[in-house]
Amino acid sequence: MGFLEQFNPFSRSGIWMFLILMVSVYIVTIVVERAYALWFRFKIDASQILSRIISFVDSNNYSRAIEVCNSRQNHPMCMVLKSGLLKANRSDVEIRRAIEQATMKVAPQIQKRTPYLATLANVATLLGLLGTIFGLIMAFEGVEMASAAKKQEVLARGISLAMNTTAFGLIVAIPTTIAHAVLSARQNSLLDTIEDSAMTLFNHLSAKNRMGTMKR
């Protein structure tokens, strides 16, 4: 209980603790939204979707292949694959350009706000250090005004309170850095899956063009 009473960051450490708290709330909002998007909203059985599309492409049934994409029309991978299918009767250059443009369009949906986490982790740390500096300044000023018997007590209390901001800043920054790494790895994996699937589809469409069996 003594530790909990002493580590009371919001009652005696000034505005810095509240600023760090505001940063942490924004961080939690980003992490929850991005985690939901990357693990649930964008969850898809890529191999199954791609195999169905390829089977329809091989049988020249492009309308059914597009229907497969439309079944998950808001998913980035399906949007990219559909863009290639819509150009299936064009040249390889046009198909590749359509796929690349679609990939560039959906990438921000996957990557958005995640880069903020690295910046916010640094902001939390710096706010903690800034709060510590101001806390130490206030502690030394308090020592100057305190009586000789109280100087050590005032200094110790002031330093203890000042360190709360550094501790709280690190408590926010460390999990944020970990979350940033995990989310970045997940989004990169999703982008790799999209690019691999798009390349597989492109190769099939290109082969169909070369063989001259594509229906126009």
Question: Tell me: the pLDDT tens digits for 66-77?
Answer: 999 999 989 999
Alpha-carbon dihedral 181, 186, 190, 193, rounded to 10 degrees: 100
Number of continuous H segments (helices) and E segments (strands) in the chain: 9, 0
The pLDDT value given to residue 172: 96
Cα distances (Å, whole numbers) of residue 4 to 1, 8, 102, 203: 5, 7, 53, 63
The pLDDT value given to residue 10: 59
What letter would DSSP give residue 73? T
Alpha-carbon dihedral 158, 161, 162, 166, rounded to 10 degrees: 160
Could you give the count of Cα atoms lying within 13 Å of 110 in the half-sphere of its Cβ?
Answer: 25
Q: How would residue 1 be classed by pLDDT, with cut points 50, 70 and 90? A: very low
Which tokens hold the place of 189?
A: 């994996």
What letter would DSSP give residue 40? I
CA 77 – CA 86 distance, rounded (Å): 14
The pLDDT value given to residue 214: 42
- pTM of the predicted structure, to 2 decimals: 0.83
Torsion sign over Cα 77, 87, 92, 94: negative
CA 90 – CA 62 distance, rounded (Å): 13
What letter would DSSP give residue 8? -
Q: How would residue 143 be classed by pLDDT, with cut points 50, 70 and 90? A: low
Mean pLDDT over residues 115-128, rounded?
96
Q: Locate the domains of the chain by residue range.
A: 13-209
The pLDDT value given to residue 149: 61
The pLDDT value given to residue 8: 57
pLDDT above 80 (res 120): yes
Which one is predicted more confidently, 69 or 5? 69
The pLDDT value given to residue 13: 61
pLDDT above 70 (res 43): yes
pLDDT above 60 (res 2): no
